[in-house]
Structure 1
Amino acid sequence: MKSRFEVLLEDLGGRFTKDDIPKMRDAILALRQVMELPVSYLNPSSGYHPVVVFKKRFGRIVKEVPVSLLELKILNRYNMPGWRREVEFWLDNDIAVHESLLGVDAVLIGDPRTLNRIGDALRRIAQYMSVRPRKLVLFYNSVYLDYGGGRYILLTLRGNDIELRLIRMKLSEAASYLGKAVEYMDSAFGNKNIEFYKVLFTYATSTYSTFDWFFHKYLYPNLNPEQREFFEEMQDYRNFLRLLYSYVNRLNKDRLGDSVGIRVVRRGNPHRPLEIEITFTNRGIQVERYVRTAHISFMV
């Protein structure tokens, strides 16, 4: 007896052509892997039914056939799930392949031009990673980096922008795995999201040299005149920076919120402390004059 999958492929071959069957088979198998990824667009745990819509041009006519990735059957208006998430797969152009990328097993789904562009970006990022993923899935413009144990780093690349999301992974783990790739992504891409900047901060506070880089790129240029005056009045600026780093380094980064408040009190003038609030936003890292909550407080 034929399996449900074999019956589905035969039905699809009748809707399109027999030559399309291998590509549809590969696409369904690859998309089912995406479906099984936690928090993926197609994961059914979100309450939505995952559907792939196969499309192909026949002259001026576009033929499309929706298929349930969950039940492995062709859908129509009578059995179409009301709550569903669809992904289009163009048989004329899109591909679904297994290959080695970054030296790891990879599943690639999408149009070749986008896959090549994102693949090139990934290769450059991988050059700086401290730990490469065990597997990866490149799903159109989203990249799932699989570090085992259900832990993923999700990168979404749109043009010159990058968005980072952690799935069941701590900020400290992500910063450790990505390493200098964080600096590369920071310089190579334009807009980033809040979670990226949290990983950046976690990475930057892991060593004094990276903190020094972070401080002079993100903090010092954005200090107001009063805050700058505080630093300029310090007799030993570098020693103070090392002292500040020692406190920042002790923060529990895995419980990082959307801001970090720093208050430094001078013994000679305790009524005029230095206050710096580092705020992570989708527009970058902002430096505020006053802190709402002092996560770090010490006296010099």
Structure 2
Amino acid sequence: MPALSRERFEVLIRDLTSRFSQADEKKIREVLPAFARVTEIPVSYLNPSSRYHPVLILKKRFGNLEKDVRVSLVDFRILNKYNMPGWRREVEFRLDRDVVLRERVGGVEALLIGDPSLVSRMRDAVVRILQQMNFRPRNFVMFYNQIYMDFGNNRFIHIEILGSDLRLRLVNLKFTDASRILGKAIPYMDSVFGNKNPEFYKLLFVYASETTGSFDWFFHRYIMPRLNPEQREFLNEMHDYHNFLRLLYTYVARLNKDRLGDEVGIRVVRRANPNRPLEIGIAFTNRGIEVKRYPSTTTISFMV
């Protein structure tokens, strides 16, 4: 910390220790730098660039009395009703329960913050994801149910786990780069978590388009079961269904996958019956991958 920040930090430590207890000083010294680190992550909930002032609420129970103190993570000072910022984002940390850990997880330097039971569950989930990745992050921060993986040059993969659901966000990373980094962790996350967000399903599509084998898996898992009778009939009438899939894959592989929209539209015309084309809309939604009867726009079009 710069000298001024260090001085302010020490003043804050003394003030907080006097409001809680001398026994809490060690943990307070761990908590404040850890939360300051979270505010530095561009995609973090507490990053001040969101125009919200990040506020830490320290809490501790003393018998039947619960004491709480609000702390600015920008100014390193205690807040009260007179200096409380209007636009703020608050996060709680219980001194008598929550933990701050700095350790290696899956061979990666990590900062872990949260309730011990949640930290344990999240750590296990991260280890399994890291085991499937082609390239591991330089470090990561696990902030309650949020995971921020740092790949350098201001590039992050942000994963949020809500029960059995998962949300993924890429920061300064292209889909193709993220697919190369995560590798088999993508289908792994797809298999172990329930609902995902559209950005994850786009990434899954990009991963599936890398090889004919992965595309075949994707098509039979997500597309084939959702086709309507007319679309199925078209495929059943193909003389060589597997050759058709390989041909479709060659067109999918040519897409600019870093500029994927919310839908990939496919239109296939048969020379023998051009009036009955196969049309499929593959939509990436919060409810999963949806297959539409008619695409909103045609991304891929060819004749067989």
Q: 1:53-111: per-residue Cα shift (whole Å, max 9, x none)?
A: 11000001000111111111111111111111111010010111211112111111101
SS at 1:67 equivalent: strand
SS at 2:121 equivalent: helix
Match of 2:38 in 1: 34
Q: 1:34-68: per-residue Cα shift (whole Å, max 9, x none)?
A: 00000211111111111111100000100011111
Equivalent position to 2:218, from 214, 218, 221 = 214
Counterpart CA distance in 1 for 2:234 and 2:111 is 53
1:247 is matched by which residue type in structure 2? Y
Match of 2:265 in 1: 261
Counterpart CA distance in 2 for 1:126 and 1:46 is 29
Asked whether 1:272 is paired with 2:295, we answer: no
Q: What are the within-5 Å matches in structure 2 for residues 143-292 of structure 1? A: 143-292=147-296
1:212 is matched by which residue type in structure 2? D
1:28 is matched by which residue type in structure 2? L
Displacement over 2 Å in runs of 4+: none
Q: TM-score, normalised by structure 2?
A: 0.97
Q: What's the offset of the Cα at 1:177?
A: 0.9
Counterpart CA distance in 1 for 2:211 and 2:31 is 44
Structure 1, unmatched stretches of 5+, are none
Counterpart CA distance in 2 for 1:20 and 1:105 is 26
Q: 1:148-202: per-residue Cα shift (whole Å, max 9, x none)?
A: 1111111101111111111121111111111111111111011111111011111
Q: What's the offset of the Cα at 1:221?
A: 0.9
Counterpart CA distance in 1 for 2:294 and 2:88 is 46
Match of 2:111 in 1: 107
RMSD: 1.1
CA contact (8 A) 2:56 2:91 kept: yes
Q: How many correspondences in the alignment? A: 300
CA contact (8 A) 2:269 2:276 kept: yes
CA contact (8 A) 2:43 2:158 kept: no
1:93 is matched by which residue type in structure 2? R
Match of 2:79 in 1: 75
Equivalent position to 1:127, from 113, 128, 131 = 131
SS at 2:158 equivalent: strand
Taking only the aligned residue pairs, the percentage that are identical comes to 61
2:49 is matched by which residue type in structure 1? S
